[in-house]
Amino acid sequence: MKDPNNTRNTAPRRGSPLWIYFVVVILLGVAACATAFAGLTGADLDALARQPVFWILGCFIVFGELRPIITPGSTENNGATTSTTFAFAALLYAGLPLAATLQVVAVVTAGIFRGRSPHRIAFNAAQYTLSLAAAQLVLALAGDMATPTRLWVPDGGDLPLIALAGAVYFGCNDTLVGSAIALHERVPLLKALRWDLGYQVLVHLALLGLAPLMVVAMDRSAVFVPLIVLPFIAVYLNASVSVRREHQALHDVLTGLPNRKLLTVRTEEALAEASGADQSPPRWFGRAGARARRDAAAEPENRRAGLFLLDLDRFKEVNDTLGHATGDRLLQLVAHRLTHSVRPGDLVARLGGDEFAVLLPTVRDEAAAREVAARLRAALGEPVRLDGMSFDLEGSVGIALFPDHAQDFELLLQRADVAMYNAKEGRTGVEVYSPGKDRNSPDRLSILGDLRRAIDRSELELFYQPKIALRDKQLVGMEALLRWRHPDKGLLEPEAFLSIAEQTYLMRSITHYVVEAALAQTAAWWREDLAVQVAVNASGRDLLDTGLTETIEEGLLSHGLPAAALQLEITERILMNEQAYASETVRALAELGIPLSLDDFGTGYSSLVRLKRLPVEEIKIDASFVRRLTGSSDDAVIVRSIVDLVRTLGLRSVAEGVEDPQTARTLREMGCDAAQGWHFGRPMDAATATDWLRRRMERAPEPAA
Measured CA to CA in angstroms, residue 548 lies from 392, 522, 552 at distances of 22, 18, 6
Quick one: pLDDT band at residue 3, thresholds 50, 70, 90? very low
- The pLDDT value given to residue 112: 87
Contact at 8 Å (CB) between 252 and 350?
A: yes
Quick one: pLDDT band at residue 464, thresholds 50, 70, 90? very high
Q: Which of 114-128, 318-332, 538-552, 667-681 has the highest mean pLDDT?
A: 667-681
Residue 179, amino acid: S
Task: Say whether pLDDT at 578 is over 60.
Answer: no
Segment 191-215 shows an average pLDDT of 77
Q: Which of 46-55, 385-394, 483-492 has the highest mean pLDDT?
A: 483-492
Task: Check the CA dihedral 11-13-18-19 and report its sign.
Answer: positive
Within its chain, how far is the Cα of 626 from the centroid? 47
Q: How many CB atoms lie within 10 A of CB 7?
A: 15
Q: pLDDT over 90 for what percent of the chain?
A: 18
Measured CA to CA in angstroms, residue 581 lies from 389, 455, 504, 652 at distances of 28, 29, 20, 20
Task: Say whether pLDDT at 685 is over 90.
Answer: yes
At 388-409, the pLDDT tens digits run: 666 677 888 999 998 888 888 8
pLDDT-wise least confident of 115-129, 193-207, 286-300, 405-419 = 286-300
Q: Nearest to residue 566, comparing CAs of 603, 625, 602, 520?
A: 520
Segment 656-663 shows an average pLDDT of 91
pLDDT-wise least confident of 66-75, 156-165, 369-378, 563-572 = 66-75
Segment 378-387 shows an average pLDDT of 77
- The pLDDT value given to residue 319: 60
Residue 34, amino acid: A
- The pLDDT value given to residue 239: 57
- The pLDDT value given to residue 664: 92
3-state secondary structure (DSSP) of residue 562? coil
Q: How many CB atoms lie within 10 A of CB 508?
A: 21
Segment 531-553 shows an average pLDDT of 83
Domains of the chain: 17-250 (1.10.1760.20), 260-436 (3.30.70.270), 446-696 (3.20.20.450)
Measured CA to CA in angstroms, residue 586 lies from 321, 543, 606 at distances of 17, 7, 17
- The pLDDT value given to residue 242: 63
532 vs 206, higher pLDDT = 532
Length of the chain as a residue count: 705
Segment 271-279 shows an average pLDDT of 67
Q: pLDDT over 70 for what percent of the chain?
A: 80
- Cβ partners under 8 Å of residue 366, min gap 6: 399, 401, 404, 432
pLDDT-wise least confident of 492-506, 523-537, 593-607 = 593-607
- The pLDDT value given to residue 56: 75
pLDDT-wise least confident of 147-151, 334-338, 507-511, 636-640 = 147-151
Task: Say whether pLDDT at 46 is over 70.
Answer: yes
Segment 32-43 shows an average pLDDT of 77
At 498-525, the pLDDT tens digits run: 877 776 777 888 888 899 999 999 999 9
Q: How many whole angstroms separate alpha carbon 399 and alpha carbon 376?
A: 12
Task: Say whether pLDDT at 580 is over 60.
Answer: no
Quick one: pLDDT band at residue 290, thresholds 50, 70, 90? very low
Within its chain, how far is the Cα of 685 from the centroid? 36
Q: How many whole angstroms separate alpha carbon 506 and alpha carbon 226?
A: 56
Q: How many whole angstroms separate alpha carbon 10 and alpha carbon 27?
A: 20
- The pLDDT value given to residue 85: 82
Task: Check the CA dihedral 364-370-371-373 and report its sign.
Answer: positive
pLDDT-wise least confident of 140-154, 313-327, 424-438, 641-655 = 313-327
What predicted TM-score, i.e. pTM, was given to this entire model?
0.45
Quick one: pLDDT band at residue 10, thresholds 50, 70, 90? low
pLDDT-wise least confident of 15-19, 203-207, 315-319, 384-388 = 315-319
- The pLDDT value given to residue 613: 65
